Amino acid sequence: MFGIERRRKIMEQLTQDRKVYVAELSKKFNVTEETVRRDLEKLEQENLLQRSYGGAVLNVGTSEDLSFIKRTSIHHADKELIAQKAESLINDGDTLMVDASTTCLALLRHLKTRNDLTIITNSILLVNEFVNSSFTVISSGGTLRSRSYALTGPAATGILEKYYVDLALISCKGLDRSRGIMESNEPESLIKQTMIRQAKKTILLVDHSKFDKTAFTKTCDFTLIDYIVTNQEPSAEWLDFFNQELIKIIY
């Protein structure tokens, strides 16, 4: 087993158990304890865990997978501002793939006056909220993650792959200039990857708290993002970076 695969499995176990032990991992992977310690050191350098005597504990910030209800109450005013800023990017007749994030839901609430929009989504809340709207709404189906009301898994990605759309609307849990765009869990990250592939352009909606933040799993590189809409001006370093990546930043 390659080191990168071993470290991925270590993070999977950490996400589930919140702690791991060097001796147990050594036996599990049939490697020396020193090899395990080096793996933990590399993961700690990436701010994914904190080493402790005999093992490591999960860095809560990287694994935080808040419920949809709790996320709705966080940065509410910022999300409303992002939605207002992003409105102009959506035109009558557009076809959209939309993730299950609270920020994307806020944007769709601002688009009720748009005509002939087609919405393809993995969010059961979005489907429910717009059941009587003028939108044409297509649900991805799939396995429900109850914390986020998101449909995931092979059934969901299989449906998404049948469509090609104008825009993908997504959010994320963290952005880092070297690590890319990150999510707190792999099932929803895979959904967002599929949406990006099926769209002509991708719009990332993200509030200021997500900048310079590491999350559990990488969704994509910045090269796949066309627009980023946020609630306040990013730092000069970020603005230079977006300029280099040819990303249009709106704030």
Show Cβ contacts of residue 24 under 8 Å, excluding neighbours closer than 6 positions.
55
Q: Are residues 22 and 82 in the same domain?
A: no
> Could you tell me the CA-to-CA distances from 158 to 92, 136, 141, 195 in Å, in that order?
27, 19, 9, 11
User: Do residues 99 and 150 make contact, with C-beta atoms less than 8 angstroms apart?
Assistant: yes
76 and 44 part of one domain: no
Other CB atoms within 10 A of residue 220 CB = 20
Domain boundary residue among 24, 40, 63?
63
Q: ∠213-157-212 over CA atoms, to 5°?
A: 5
Which residue do the tokens 């959904």 mark?
Answer: 191
pLDDT of residue 64: 59
Range of the domain at 206: 68-250
Residue that is written with structure tokens 């059934």 in the block: 155
Domains in the chain: how many in total? 2
pLDDT tens digit sequence for 86-140: 999 999 999 999 999 999 999 999 999 999 999 999 999 999 999 999 999 999 9
In tens, the pLDDT along 191-245 reads: 999 999 999 999 999 999 899 999 989 999 999 999 999 999 999 999 999 999 9
Answer yes or no: do 211 and 159 share one domain.
yes
Q: Are residues 86 and 171 in the same domain?
A: yes
Q: Is residue 118 located within the same domain as residue 133?
A: yes
**Domain at 158, CATH number:** 3.40.50.1360
Question: Could you tell me how far CA 201 lies from the centroid of its own chain?
Answer: 17
pTM, whole model, 2 decimals?
A: 0.75
Q: Residue 51 is part of a domain; what is its CATH number? A: 1.10.10.10
Q: What is the pLDDT of residue 62?
A: 60
96, β-bridge pairs? 119, 167
115 versus 69: the higher-pLDDT residue is: 115
| Per-chain mean pLDDT for the chain | 92
Dihedral pair phi/psi, residue 93, rounded to 5°: 85, 0
Strands of the sheet with 49-52, listed across from one edge? 19-21, 55-58, 49-52
Q: Which of 42, 63, 84 is the last residue of a domain?
A: 63
Residue 51 and residue 158 in one domain? no
| pLDDT at residue 70 tops 60 | no
**C-alpha distances in Å from residue 49, one per residue of 131, 209, 213:** 42, 20, 14
Residues 74 and 153 in one domain: yes
At residue 44 the predicted structure's pLDDT band, cuts being 50, 70 and 90, is: confident
Q: Are residues 58 and 166 in the same domain?
A: no
Same domain for 187 and 236?
Answer: yes
Domain final position from 63, 87, 112: 63
Provide the pLDDT for residue 68: 59
Task: Please tell me whether residues 207 and 118 are part of one structural domain.
Answer: yes
Label residue 54 left, alpha or beta by phi (over 0 means left) and psi (-120 to 50 means alpha): left
